[in-house]
Amino acid sequence: MKIVMLGAPGAGKGTQADRIAEKYAIPHISTGDIFRANLKAGTELGMKAKEYMDKGLLVPDSLTVDLLMDRIAKDDCRDGYVLDGFPRTIPQAEALKSALEKKGEKLDYAIDVDVPDENIIGRMSGRRACVKCGATYHVVYAAPAKEGICDKCGSELILRDDDKPETVKKRLAVYHEQTQPLIDFYKAEGILKTVDGTQNLEKVFADIIDILGA
């Protein structure tokens, strides 16, 4: 079962990808994790990626796809995988499709966790993070026992720059410009499935299981 997760930043696709991976015993794969693993191991592909990263440049799509294909060739991917955060653009999606076709493979599902922008801005602006231990909270959904204080270590909770409304709006604008077209791409491929991400986590997951099958 080969799955790609779609959805705006803050839609909760990473959380759902974790749960899918656990239920079906398949790996949850993000390109960030792949980069870190290859850099740590000092692989040839990792060193190539490092050359771009050290110059502050984006790693080319072709190299990212090579890294991804290397990862999904591992034994733990024989029953499938959940891709999270890649592809982000149409060229990346086309490069991935081409690389999979060369192996006689294709994606089975593209699951879009659909959440309106205003909901995402509300969700993310309600997040709070501990300045010391990094624990995260939400003023509505997962509030600390004492307002502004971390339950775990007693340190101050802050609204991170990434979660400020103006930052979230910028990230959403980039998403709509670059990544939203993927929804049309995978719809044309006949594998797009959309779930209502405004529901609680359990209901979103249940809807995904209905799509994938128990």
- Give pTM, 2 decimals: 0.85
Q: What is the pLDDT of residue 181?
A: 93
DSSP state of 135: -
- Write out pLDDT tens, residues 23-46: 999 999 998 889 889 999 999 999
Nearest C-alpha neighbor of 87 from the set 19, 180, 17: 180
Query: Phi then psi for 162, rounded to 5 degrees?
Result: -60, -25
Catalytic residue among 48, 50, 88, 187: 88
CA–CA separation, 4 vs 185, rounded Å? Answer: 12
Active-site entry in 50, 164, 171, 187:
171
- Structurally, the chain folds into a number of domains equal to 1
If 0-12 CB within 10 Å is exposed, 13-18 middle and 19+ buried, where does residue 58 land?
Answer: exposed
Does 128 reside within a domain? no
171 in active site: yes
Structural domain containing residue 21:
2-116+166-212
Q: What is the pLDDT of residue 203?
A: 97
Considering the domain boundaries, does residue 29 fall inside one? yes
Q: Is there a domain that residue 204 lies in?
A: yes
Segments of the chain scoring below 50 in pLDDT: none
What's the DSSP call for residue 7?
-
- Residue 9 belongs to a domain with what CATH number? 3.40.50.300
Could you give the maximum distance between any two Cα atoms of the chain, in Å? 56
Does residue 130 sit within a domain?
no
Pairing of strands 81-84, 28-30: parallel
pLDDT at 53: 87
Is residue 185 a part of any domain in this protein? yes
The confidence score (pLDDT) of residue 152 equals: 95
For residue 123, give the amino acid letter.
Answer: R
Residue 106 lies in a domain: yes
Q: Residue 32's pLDDT is what?
A: 84
Q: Is 71 a catalytic residue?
A: no
Report yes or no on 38 lying in a domain: yes
**Residue 75 domain-assigned (yes or no):** yes
**Beta-bridge partner residues of 158:** 129
The reported pLDDT for the residue numbered 16 is: 95
